[in-house]
Amino acid sequence: MKLELQRVWEQVIEGNKAGVEVAVRAARGAALTPEQILNEGLIAAMTEVGNRFERQEFYVPEMLVSARAMQAGLALLKPQLMESGVKAVGKVVLGTVRGDLHDIGKSLVGMMLEGAGFEVIDLGTDVGPEKFGEAVRTHRPQLVGMSALLTTTMQNMKSTLEALEDLGVRSQVKVMVGGAPVTESFAREIGADGFAPDASRAVALAKSLL
């Protein structure tokens, strides 16, 4: 791995916010692309943080400081990740489902969608089925995106779909789902319209669902 990327990776693992910012700037200075810094630096580091948590070498506080450090790096890349131009191809209501507080992946998806010209209404984390339903009624989006990072909370994607059905708005929107434990077959099983494993493919999916 390139030294500059290694540095970004290390600083995320260490949870050093200022260090991540310095390392990301240095990587940009070394002409690495925002996508490389994101995928091989920031996201690769969060994967390692997850692995260490599983091996009980890291606990929640370490995960949290790493997440904050990663977000600081992400903020620096945001302008470059959002390829400018094309306006309002469509509207997306986005949120992390009830019981789930993970928001890095969801926010990244939102950022990339905005960059591709979508208007994004980000409902945040721990979003209950009623809130998704209400947002569909108020904002009339073409798309709804749900994120879940826990095997327990991914079940709440199903209850949200049911709530949209009960409110009579399910047929007005296409629903896409994602998050580390979510799979294509799970998406199909719960009756979602699409699944994407990462933010750039989420953009391609959103475009194809329109």
Residue ranges that bind ligand B12, judged by CB under 6 A: 43, 46-47, 49-50, 53-54, 60, 63-64, 67, 99-106, 108-109, 145-147, 149-151, 176-181, 196, 198-199, 202, 205
Coil, helix or strand for 195? Answer: strand
Question: With respect to ligand B12, which residue has the nearer C-beta, 27 or 94?
Answer: 94
- What is the closest distance, in whole angstroms, from the C-beta atom of residue 102 to ligand B12 in the complex? 4
Question: With respect to ligand B12, which residue has the nearer C-beta, 31 or 144?
Answer: 144
Alpha-carbon Rg for the chain in angstroms: 17
- What is the closest distance, in whole angstroms, from the C-beta atom of residue 73 to ligand B12 in the complex? 11
Q: Are 187 and 161 in contact (CB under 8 A)?
A: no
- What is the closest distance, in whole angstroms, from the C-beta atom of residue 79 to ligand B12 in the complex? 18
Question: With respect to ligand B12, which residue has the nearer C-beta, 73 or 179?
Answer: 179
Q: Which strand (E) or helix (H) includes residue 161?
A: helix 155-166
As a whole number of angstroms, the distance between CA 146 and CA 156 comes to: 10
Query: What are the start-end ranges of the E strands in 55-182?
Result: 90-96, 118-122, 143-147, 174-178
